[in-house]
């Protein structure tokens, strides 16, 4: 079955299936940003990042800004409202500079930090999932407020937006993550 999955249709989908829930968060809506994580916009793009970010802006750690263990600083913290209890897959729209610039450390609430990324798609915006493995269990979240932190692990990385979705078959496409199931 082909189904257009626009954000506006989330309510309808939620009504159709009690288990399906999805939220989209723009990187630039972070509650807190610590340098060298920094805001960039379509109007004043970095040389190594395109003009095609959703919401017209993104967060980035510029190439050469430094990364652990030399520099432990640099994160973006998000306070999100999860609509329903469930197992959530986290999709992020990212742009990686290369092998040494293709990951964040991801932390949800007080859970142990995990590796996000390390995939081999460079120089273009693309969607990356956590957990990456199709066999791995999604992140269990109760309805309500949660904290998501993207931390500096390698410089030369950019984060446009991210999605939390309970639907395992969901795959975001394009700029804002609207997708076919
Ligand atoms: Ca890497
Ligand atoms: Ca954005």
Instruction: Check pLDDT > 70 for residue 5.
Output: no
CATH architecture of 21-171: Sandwich (2.60)
C-alpha 160 to ligand 2 mean position (Å)? 4
Q: Which two tokens stand for residue 88?
A: 């959530």
pLDDT at 134: 87
C-alpha 3 to ligand 2 mean position (Å)? 25
C-alpha 106 to ligand 1 mean position (Å)? 14
Domain coordinates in residue numbering, the chain: 21-171
Q: What are 131-162's pLDDT values in tens digits?
A: 999 899 999 999 999 999 999 999 999 999 99
C-alpha 46 to ligand 1 mean position (Å)? 20
Q: Which residue has the tokens 């804002």?
A: 176
C-alpha 67 to ligand 1 mean position (Å)? 11
pLDDT at 83: 95
Q: What are 59-105's pLDDT values in tens digits?
A: 999 999 999 999 999 999 999 999 999 999 999 999 999 999 999 99
CA distance 7 to 179: 9
C-alpha 153 to ligand 1 mean position (Å)? 8
CA distance 181 to 170: 5
C-alpha 158 to ligand 2 mean position (Å)? 10
pLDDT at 48: 53
What's the pLDDT band for 18 if we cut at 50, 70, 90? low
Q: What are 35-49's pLDDT values in tens digits?
A: 999 999 877 655 555
C-alpha 1 to ligand 2 mean position (Å)? 30
Cα 55-53-161 angle, rounded to 5 deg: 70
C-alpha 176 to ligand 2 mean position (Å)? 8
Q: What are 70-80's pLDDT values in tens digits?
A: 999 999 999 99
Residue partners of 166: CB distance under 8 A and separation at least 6: 19, 20, 21, 22, 84, 86, 87, 88, 89, 138
pLDDT at 181: 45
pLDDT at 115: 98
Q: Residues of the chain with pLDDT > 70: what percent?
A: 82
Q: Which two tokens stand for residue 105?
A: 């450390």
Mean pLDDT taken over the chain? 87
């Amino acid at each position: 079955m082909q189904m257009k999955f626009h954000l506006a249709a989330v309510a309808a989908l939620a009504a159709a299936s009690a288990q399906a829930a999805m939220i989209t968060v723009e990187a630039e809506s972070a509650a807190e940003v610590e340098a060298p994580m920094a805001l960039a916009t379509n109007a004043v793009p970095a040389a190594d990042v395109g003009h095609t970010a959703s919401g017209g802006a993104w967060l980035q750690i510029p190439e050469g800004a430094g990364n652990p263990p030399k520099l432990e600083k640099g994160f973006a913290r998000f306070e999100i409202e999860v609509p329903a209890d469930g197992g959530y897959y986290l999709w992020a729209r990212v742009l990686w500079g290369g092998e040494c610039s293709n990951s964040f450390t991801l932390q949800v609430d007080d859970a142990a930090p995990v590796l996000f990324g390390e995939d081999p798609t460079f120089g273009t915006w693309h969607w990356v999932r956590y957990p990456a493995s199709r066999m791995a269990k999604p992140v269990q979240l109760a309805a309500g407020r949660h904290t998501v932190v993207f931390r500096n692990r390698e410089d030369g990385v950019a984060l446009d937006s991210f999605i939390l979705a309970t639907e395992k078959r969901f795959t975001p496409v394009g700029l804002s993550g609207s997708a076919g199931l």
